[in-house]
Chains A and B, each alone.
Chain A
Amino acid sequence: AQTVTQSQPEMSVQEAETVTLSCTYDTSESDYYLFWYKQPPSRQMILVIRQEAYKQQNATENRFSVNFQKAAKSFSLKISDSQLGDAAMYFCAYRLYNFNKFYFGSGTKLNVKP
């Protein structure tokens, strides 16, 4: 069974600092996608970053980058130069390559302190 675990219910970071959110997943498949979604107080779910499992290179989108460790089934999100607008719930998600069911973690609430 596919499961996604986010072990940090809540985290805090000082503005301009760097924070890393953890995510682990369980699967016996080799082809899949991993995602990080952001949900600010407006409740809109926003795609932050995507990683294809067949790619060894870690995905990067501006201040957001991931540390993808396939053997360890770990997919952490690093936010550099944190901004007040980064404060949100962050969800890790998994999808098999050719199947349309997404599995979401329970979320991590990120607080950004000025």
Chain B
Amino acid sequence: DTAVSQTPKYLVTQMGNDKSIKCEQNLGHDTMYWYKQDSKKFLKIMFSYNNKELIINETVPNRFSPKSPDKAHLNLHINSLELGDSAVYFCASSQVLTGGGDQYFGPGTRLTVT
């Protein structure tokens, strides 16, 4: 059973296009995240949702818009893709207010913008 799943795992697209990445967790966690990992492997948080409510919104261009239809899903939509958006995007989830708060990651989506 996959705990945190992301689709697609690979995404190749041209500049200016709009694309979405979907994430689902079956762990019953209350919090979900989006991270961006650049070519130097630096992991940077982008957004976090707690029970469908946006609670962390780091300095991210407005072209990135997260959407959480329910607490098990967190999607990321990117408008007008740019070369600098090429990276691996990770979805993650955790149970923060109770439990150990361990964060579980999805397999990542490698986005390549040409």
**A44-B108, A91-B43 given as contacts; is B103 within 8 A of A99 (CB)?**
no
Which single member of B43, B56, B102, B110 contacts A101 (CB below 8 Å)? B56
Give the interface residue-count category, chain A: 20 to 34
Q: Are A102 and B42 in contact (CB under 8 A)?
A: no
A42: shortest Cβ distance to chain B, in Å? Answer: 8
Give the interface residue-count category, chain B: 20 to 34
Question: Who on chain B is nearest to A45 by CB?
Answer: B105
Question: Who on chain A is nearest to B58 by CB?
Answer: A101
B48: shortest Cβ distance to chain A, in Å? Answer: 6
B85: shortest Cβ distance to chain A, in Å? Answer: 17
CA distance A99 to B88 in the complex (A): 25
Contact with B along A67-103 (1 / 0, CB 8 A): 0000000000000000000000101010101111110
Overall SS of chain B's interface: strand
Q: Are B103 and A43 in contact (CB under 8 A)?
A: no
Task: State which residues 71-99 of B face A: CB under 8 Å.
Answer: 88, 90, 92, 94, 96-97
Q: Are B88 and A102 in contact (CB under 8 A)?
A: no
Residue B68, interface by CB 8 Å: no
CA distance A50 to B90 in the complex (A): 20
CA distance A52 to B33 in the complex (A): 21
Residue B25, interface by CB 8 Å: no
Task: State which residues 26-82 of A face B: CB under 8 Å.
Answer: 33, 35, 37, 39, 43-47, 50, 52
B10: shortest Cβ distance to chain A, in Å? Answer: 11
CA distance A91 to B45 in the complex (A): 14
24 A-B pairs whose Cβ atoms sit less than 8 Å apart in the complex = A33-B100, A35-B102, A35-B103, A37-B105, A43-B88, A43-B107, A43-B108, A43-B110, A44-B105, A45-B90, A45-B92, A46-B105, A47-B102, A47-B103, A89-B41, A93-B103, A95-B101, A95-B103, A98-B97, A99-B96, A100-B96, A101-B56, A102-B94, A107-B43
Additional 14 contacts, C-beta under 8 A, given A93-B103, A95-B101, A102-B103: A39-B41, A43-B107, A44-B107, A45-B108, A46-B105, A47-B102, A95-B103, A100-B31, A100-B94, A100-B96, A101-B45, A102-B45, A102-B94, A109-B41
